[in-house]
Structures are given as structure tokens and as C-alpha cells.
Chain A
Amino acid sequence: MLETEPQLIEQYIKTGTVKLVYRHLVQLGDRSLRLAEASECAADQGKFWPMRQAIYARYNQILFDTEQELAAAAADANVDLVQLNACLDAATHRAAVRADHDAATADGIRSRPVFRLGERTLIGAQPFNVFQDLIAQASGS
């Protein structure tokens, strides 16, 4: 998705053809939950998407040193770390993240990543041309 998403943004989201809706699916325990909460805490500062991208950019390290990489991601996304930590300590968004996860699993989503486009569901990372075909069908172009 790291390679595909920039293409989707450039070709379909920037042009107003597609909107991307992000849903939390926290399947890897406490660290998944903490990072999802961190993204919501960043959203309180208007930085959900930059924080999400900053975390993704550190995906190969954040599993091993979550706290340090999370702080670095916050810096990359210009998120105030003091506010972020206070938000995390207070578990401000934990219930909302869990509710999102529960709603997704209740909807039949069992793994990650999963993409849903209209009636079609794609399981796992997909090459860009797969999205191109589905978007073309959905938009009638």
C-alpha cells in the first residue's frame, strides 16, 4: 500500500474521483491499539493523515521500538508530543478505536488490509492496476 497509495492519491483522490475512508482494524495487540489511538490523538491537532503517513513511513521499525518511533513520527507530522502523550495517557480515543474495530469485524472484515469499493472487497495489498479497474467500473469511466 505504501507504493500504491501515492498513485491513488495523485490520480484519483486529488482529481475528486475517489475519497478514501480509513477504518481502524487493530489486530496486533496493544501496540496496534496504541498507534491507532495516537493517530486519533493527532487528529485532535488536525494531523490525522500526516500522522498516519508518518507512522507508515516507519513501519519497519515501529514494531520494535514503538514509543521512540511514535515520538519521531509525531515530530515528522508536526504533532505536539506533549499533547499527544496526554491524550494517550487519558485513553481519550480508546473506546472509539475499539468501536471502529468492532464494527468492522461485525461487518465481516477479518484481516488487514482490506479494501472495500462499492460491493467489491479486496483482501491484502493490491497492485495499482487492480484499483484502476475497480475504480473505472465504479465511476463508469
Chain B
Amino acid sequence: MMAYRIPMLLVVWALLLVGCGGSVVVTPSPTAVPPTLAVATAAPTATPALPTPEVAATPTLPPLPTDLPVPPTATVAPPATIAESRTAEGYHVLGDPEAPVTLEMFSDFL
């Protein structure tokens, strides 16, 4: 019985040795890595392009007009309904020339 088991153990040992040796040869193989890298680098090219040209296509504002009239302030001009005239000497008169009271103002602009 013992003589029969020894060859069997040798066969099992041999099979284990072969099995372990095969795994050592296969797993560190560098040829298995490139496919995963290739997939990783190929991924960005597969994504759809962002619509960046739309930024450049943003419509520009039309130029502002440069000849806008300057609105006079309320204190600038006397009302248009007030008469303006001159005296016989050429002095400027504001108000009804026939107004009963004359107010003369002597002044300058400084």
C-alpha cells in the first residue's frame, strides 16, 4: 500500500509544480497592459465635442449713437411762454414789455 502511494504523491507533486510554474510565467506578462491603456486613451476622442464655437458666435451690441441730444435741466432755460425782447438801447428783456414794474439787473457771469 505504501509503495503504491509514493508514485501517486510524485504525480500530484509534479502536477502542482507544473500548475504553479504556469501561473508564474503568465501573470506578469506586459502584453496584457497595453489594451487597457489603449482603451483609456481612446476614450476622450470618443466623447462629443463641446459647442465652443457658440461663444465666439455671441452677437455683438450695435454701436451707441454719439449724437444724442443733451436734455436741458429744469433750471437752464426759462419757459418758452415768457416773452423775450430788447429795450430801445438793446438791453435784453424777459417778460411782458408792457409790465408795470421794471427790474434792472446789473451783473456778469462769474
The residues in B between 44 and 94 inclusive whose CB is less than 8 angstroms from any CB of A are 70, 72-73, 75-79, 81-82, 84, 87, 89-94
- Chain A residues closer than 8 Å to B103, beta-carbon distance: 8, 18-21, 115-117, 131, 135
Contacting pair B70 A21 (CB below 8 A): no
Residues of A within 8 A of B109 (CB): 32, 35-36, 39, 52, 55-56, 59, 62
Q: Are A20 and B108 interface neighbours, CB within 8 A?
A: no
CB-defined contacts of B99 to chain A, threshold 8 Å:
13, 16-19
Q: Is there an interface contact between A53 and B78, defined as CB atoms closer than 8 Å?
A: yes
A62, B110: Cα distance in complex, Å: 7
Interface set of B (CB-CB < 8 Å, partner A): 70, 72-73, 75-79, 81-82, 84, 87, 89-110
Which chain A residues have a beta carbon within 8 Å of chain B's beta carbons?
Answer: 1-2, 6, 8-9, 12-14, 16-28, 31-32, 35-36, 39, 43, 48-50, 52-57, 59, 62-63, 75-78, 96, 100, 103-104, 109, 112-118, 131, 135, 138-139
